Structure 1
């Protein structure tokens, strides 16, 4: 079994992040003092950290970040407070079965900044000789992950328009992933098209489709271009169980069976 990491790194030192990440570190020595204080205040246990080797116990990391930082899964409750199918579920209430299944990679690297349509997806189905179905996890390879850490990561990428999103859901797909910042087009692109046309349907169509149909998005994936084939692998992208949250971080991976040629055995 070969494991391909499809997750982007949460990095507080990144050059640019829409919602900055704060990473505070207690060293092992500071962690020892912290643990001793916690034991004393919470459980009335006194402990002298000087008896520990080098006076050190354990380090402690505290991150301050949004649930949409790094690779994450959006829950239906992220899309709005009401849905045509009932009360939108939070990330902790979704079935785990949704987040593991056959993967299908669709190559959108040649698409311009903006929103790809259903015809482009159908052309990809023809090119790879496969149509996604129920239980499949569709991954959109836009190439945007190469811009991660820069301001362009949030402005120069390809999303999906409404009909393209509907097409995948019509095929039975419940989870759609992308290596871009959002499954929708960049903010400036959507708002410019709205100002030019007055058509409200161009505003966050992929997200707002989730108000009519229950599904999840995986955003900010990485390394989709390293997968050796568009199908024939399993995706695992279980979200962290955050109670009442509209999203949860995920360590998304692809699992590929390594076939061994008997002729190569010694």
Structure 2
């Protein structure tokens, strides 16, 4: 892998979506209560007063304290990394890792972007689709590579359709990637599986429990993490050999952690291949 962090010649590409108050693209949207600097002076003064100090909000420079926010948010809002514990208590008979147990080595490496923007919403990405996308790139996967699924769904961020208009992974496709040494798979869609309605319809028609979150539950057999709600994959200058870092925040015993994936792109004039 190329040097991830060089200096001025490295371009950083943000591949994440942040937390937004009440956004329509989240079924459980974050609640963000923001306090401006005047409110901050009041709260800081009250804190000091509770400790026995005679401080008034007006005593702060220009009557302004520190701005901050109170958040009520689940770790699956915004761009986040799902831990194996999210999928089930065990992976192939061994205890599943929680987000604070994920090796950081899994979360940095070279990524390959597989383009599925031509697929219809609700379709399932199978092994044949993955093999065809890899063939189009002339690329063979290597252990430790990070695979990113490009559906184009991030263009719908902020709209209710973001929750429904994307293809999802299959259980077989998930196992196929992990069995080649892939530990982290990302998607620019709301979820890793098909949209809820597509899974529900297929389950009602067939009665097969395997229609419910099949890609997630493949994580009970093979160990991997998935990044959901990525963005800006179309801003990357190439589809293979893309150095990225995607370290999740630690939440003790957590099923997921917020993450801000960043691609580090070197000087393209230095003979790097696309």
Q: For this structure pair, what is the TM-score category when the shorter chain's length is used for normalisation?
A: over 0.9
Match of 1:258 in 2: 267
- Within 5 A, what are the aligned runs for 1:40-189? 40-41=49-50, 43-113=51-121, 114-189=123-198
Q: CA shift at 1:141, angstroms?
A: 0.3
Cα distance, 1:44–1:131 mapped onto 2, change above 3 Å: farther
Q: Is the 8 A contact 2:25 2:161 kept in 1?
A: no
- Structure 2 distance, partners of 1:185, 1:105, is 19
- Structure 1 distance, partners of 2:267, 2:66, is 38
Residue aligned with 1:20, SS: coil
Q: Is the 8 A contact 1:232 1:256 kept in 2?
A: no
Moved more, 191-200 or 181-190: 191-200
Match of 1:200 in 2: 209
- Structure 2 distance, partners of 1:221, 1:28, is 32
Q: Is the 8 A contact 1:161 1:202 kept in 2?
A: no
Q: Is the 8 A contact 2:111 2:243 kept in 1?
A: yes
Residue aligned with 2:267, SS: coil
Match of 2:229 in 1: 220
Match of 1:29 in 2: 38
Unaligned runs of 5+ in 2: 1-9
Q: Is the 8 A contact 2:25 2:163 kept in 1?
A: no
TM-score (norm 1): 0.93
Number of aligned residues:
261
Match of 1:7 in 2: 16
Q: Is the 8 A contact 2:178 2:223 kept in 1?
A: no
Q: CA RMSD, aligned part only?
A: 1.7
Q: Is the 8 A contact 1:17 1:150 kept in 2?
A: no
